[in-house]
């Protein structure tokens, strides 16, 4: 959530958060997590919708069946605007973040709510069962996710492979248009918040009234700027630089 809120601020929108899980961690990694009770998550949806005129929303880590169900039961586009689904289920290094039993429920209840879904390489593999060793397979995976109900799909191209020279994201829009977003690969350990910030900026741009094509393009440019000029914070896997994202966005 800190990366989401930093990204919202960088793009000039005011962000709120609904806490579904809390984690203990630092730049070396996450040491423990605590999933919030369903009643507490539902209450957060209720009180925010009663007070604020929310223009767009995004998801983060939805750790298990209970969280998936309470989010799906309480989200509505009327109260929370278009939804960007960031399927935080597998890290860029392949670590699992979603209980194995919850994958099918995620496909059934969360993906159909998505105005935009933004899986990374490993998440797209897991959600579709497609290896994605070729560009053609990545295109196939995007269509698979669209068939599950997501209106627009961005399959992010970065994965744990130092042989990469570019990071190529495939975008499939609701109207059938598709294109690639390409940036040079930056070799760095300071990537914390990359996916969170990408999806948050898409949500921020949708909240401003921009279309999906503009939103994903601006998010790609901003996150690249944030990665290319990383911050020296922490001793291991540090964060991206939201100040440089802000410069790119404005």
Q: What is the pLDDT of residue 101?
A: 84
Q: What is the pLDDT of residue 40?
A: 98
Flag whether pLDDT at 92 surpasses 90: no
Q: What is the pLDDT of residue 29?
A: 83
Mean pLDDT of 104-116: 98
Kindly write down the DSSP assignment for every residue of 6-54, as one continuous string: HHHHHTT-------SEEEEEETTEEEEEEEPPHHHHHHHHHHHHHH---
SS3 label, residue 182: strand
pLDDT tens digits, one per residue of 163-215? 789 999 999 999 999 999 999 999 888 899 999 999 999 999 999 999 999 99
Choose among 87, 88, 85: nearest CA to 116.
85
Residue 160: band (very low, low, confident or very high) from pLDDT cuts 50, 70, 90: low
- Radius of gyration (C-alpha) of the chain in whole angstroms: 17
Q: What is the pLDDT of residue 1?
A: 86
Average pLDDT, rounded, for the chain: 94
Residue 94: band (very low, low, confident or very high) from pLDDT cuts 50, 70, 90: low
CB 219 within 8 A of CB 210: no
Map out the domains of the chain as residue ranges. Answer: 2-249
Q: What is the pLDDT of residue 161?
A: 65
Flag whether pLDDT at 39 surpasses 60: yes
d(CA 100, CA 120): 18
Pick 25 or 53 by higher pLDDT.
53
| CATH 3.40.1190.20 at 2-249, yes or no | yes
Q: What is the pLDDT of residue 18?
A: 98
Mean pLDDT of 97-111: 91
Pick 16 or 163 by higher pLDDT.
16
Q: Which ranges constitute the DSSP H helices of 76-120?
A: 77-80, 103-105
User: What percent of the chain is predicted at pLDDT more than 70?
Assistant: 96
Flag whether pLDDT at 119 surpasses 90: yes
Q: Which ranges constitute the DSSP H helices of the chain?
A: 2-10, 38-51, 65-74, 77-80, 103-105, 121-128, 135-147, 194-207, 212-228, 242-249
Mean pLDDT of 32-46: 96
Choose among 170, 164, 163, 122: nearest CA to 146.
170
Mean pLDDT of 68-80: 98
């Amino acid at each position: 959530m800190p990366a989401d809120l930093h990204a919202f601020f960088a793009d000039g929108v005011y962000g709120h958060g609904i806490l579904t899980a809390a984690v203990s961690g630092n730049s070396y990694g996450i040491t423990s997590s605590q999933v919030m009770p369903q009643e507490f998550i539902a209450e957060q949806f209720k009180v925010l919708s009663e007070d604020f005129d929310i223009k767009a929303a995004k998801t983060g880590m939805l750790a298990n069946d209970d969280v998936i169900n309470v989010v799906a039961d309480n989200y509505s586009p009327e109260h929370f605007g278009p939804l960007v689904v960031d399927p935080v289920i597998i890290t860029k290094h392949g670590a699992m973040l979603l209980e194995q039993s919850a994958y099918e429920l995620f496909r059934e209840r969360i993906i159909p709510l998505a105005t935009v879904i933004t899986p990374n390489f490993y998440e797209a593999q897991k959600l579709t069962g497609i290896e994605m060793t070729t560009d053609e397979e990545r295109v196939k995976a995007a269509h698979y996710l669209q068939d599950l109900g997501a209106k627009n799909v961005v399959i992010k191209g970065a994965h744990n492979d130092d042989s990469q020279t570019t990071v190529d994201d495939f975008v499939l829009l609701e109207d059938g248009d598709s294109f690639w977003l390409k940036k040079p690969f930056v070799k760095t350990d300071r990537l914390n918040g990359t996916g969170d910030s990408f999806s948050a900026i898409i949500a921020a741009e949708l909240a401003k009234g921009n279309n999906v094509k503009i939103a994903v393009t601006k998010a790609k440019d901003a996150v690249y700027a944030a990665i290319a000029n990383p911050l020296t914070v922490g001793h291991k896997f540090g964060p991206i630089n939201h100040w440089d994202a802000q410069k790119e966005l404005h």
